[in-house]
Amino acid sequence: MDNGTAVTTPLDILGPDYTVSFWINRRENAKDGEQILFEANSTPYGKEGSEEMCHTYQFKAVQKETGKVGFSRENYDYSFDYKLPEGEWVELSFCSGENKNVSLRVKDADGETVYTDPKFYYKNHPETEMSAKRGNSRVNTLLIPFGRIGSETDSFQGKVDEIVITGTNPMPAAPGAIPHSEMTVSACSQSQTSADGREGPAENAIDEREDTYWHTDWSSDTSLSEENPHYFEVTLASPHIIDRLTYLPRQDSTNGMIYRYSIEVTRPDGTVQLVADKAEWGQGNGFF
């Protein structure tokens, strides 16, 4: 990623009770100043040019007041007591409300460290640290911004990989997404429901749970091959105009993740249109 680089996702703001985890490598000799990792698509609200003007939620690899990892919301900038190293891969996890407090987990060569009680600054008083005056009651929960990876303004400079979002709430629907209740699904093959109820039939792909998944009958079905590939079919209750497809891969393993795919659409009159041919999907187990 580079300054001014952003990737739009079908999501916006998640939580509370969500965690976003990812691997990150900050570029050596990157510019000083703010660097945004994730931000919401939501526009600022309130009175333009006044103290009531509240800006969007953001996670930051570099917070402008401190140079440390943090987040911003409602005109406050928060900083954990951790600074990203340059040229080194580390794993970060933003926890939106663990133990009733926002936290940052860091895994690196030295092990795992959890940071809580971030320092914070108000936008109109960037030189004054506020937590000593107001306590940390403002950060007991946090919504996860995930409308954009990076930013069109002050984007993170470096690499981000293997983004994973987990939470205790049902899986969020993308804005404008067709409800799963309007879908019926079938597949080339499917296994029986496992003892723990997590893997098996095609319906698991649309049950709005991130811990279940469709699985082919891998142990006995030998019909699948390069010439006779896997397929997954979704039938809609009524016609829709579709401009994107989003899927969440299996969360506990890389086994079965989509690598190469084609998409065919059957119109109401029965004609079939090929809209993607042997395209390649991204790697990792976050949303695609």
Exposure b/e, 61-88, CB count within 10 A at least 16 = b: bbbbbbebbbbbbebbbbbbebebeeee
Cα 147 to chain centroid distance, Å, stands at 8
End position of a domain, from candidates 115, 137, 167: 167
pTM of the entire structure? 0.55
How many C-beta neighbours within 10 Å does residue 118 have? 26
pLDDT value for 271: 92
pLDDT at 93: 92
Residue 268 is predicted with a pLDDT of 82
Using the 3D structure, point to which of 167, 188, 217 is the last residue of a domain: 167
Q: Are residues 155 and 193 in the same domain?
A: no
217 and 154 assigned to the same domain: no
pLDDT tens track of the chain, all 288 residues?
766 678 888 887 776 678 889 999 999 987 778 899 998 876 544 444 444 444 568 899 999 888 999 988 777 888 899 999 999 999 999 887 654 578 899 999 888 999 988 887 776 555 666 565 555 445 545 778 888 899 888 899 999 998 988 875 555 556 678 888 899 999 998 988 887 788 889 999 998 887 788 988 877 777 777 777 889 999 998 888 887 788 888 776 777 778 788 999 998 888 999 988 888 876 655 555
| Neighbour-count burial of 110, counting CB atoms closer than 10 A to its CB (0-12 exposed, 13-18 middle, 19+ buried) | exposed
**Statement to judge: residues 47 and 118 lie in one domain:** yes
The reply to whether 28 and 148 lie within a common domain is yes
**Residue 154 located in a structural domain:** yes
Asked if residue 224 and residue 106 are part of one domain, the reply reads no
Question: How many structural domains are present in the chain?
Answer: 2
CATH of the domain at 77: 2.60.120
The full DSSP string for the chain is: --TT-EEE-S--EE-SSEEEEEEEEEPTTPPSS-EEEEE-SPPPBSSTTSTT-BPPPEEEEE-TTTSS-EEEETTEEEE-S--PPBS-EEEEEEESSGGGS-EEEEEETTEEEEE-S-EEEETTEEEEE-HHHHTTGGGS---EE-SEEE-SSSB--EEEEEEEEEESSPPPPPTTPPPGGGEEEEES--PPPPTTSSEESGGGGGSS-SS-EE---TTT-----SSS---EEEEESS------------SS-STT---EEEEEEE-TTS-EEEEEEEEEPPPSSS--
- What pLDDT is stored for residue 167 in this prediction? 72
User: 229 lies in which domain range?
Assistant: 180-280
Supply 97's token pair: 């409300």
Together in a domain, 152 and 245: no
- Looking up tokens 């004054």 gives 128
Q: Which residue has the tokens 């490598």?
A: 25
CA 253 to chain centre: 17
Same domain as 110, residue 69? yes
pLDDT of residue 23: 94
pLDDT of residue 52: 44
Question: Is the separation of the CB atoms in 199 and 191 below 8 Å?
Answer: yes
Final residue belonging to a domain, choices 167, 200, 234: 167
| Beta carbons within 8 Å of 276's beta carbon, 6+ residues apart | 261, 262, 263
pLDDT at 246: 81
**Polymer length of the chain:** 288
Q: Which residue has the tokens 């969440």?
A: 248
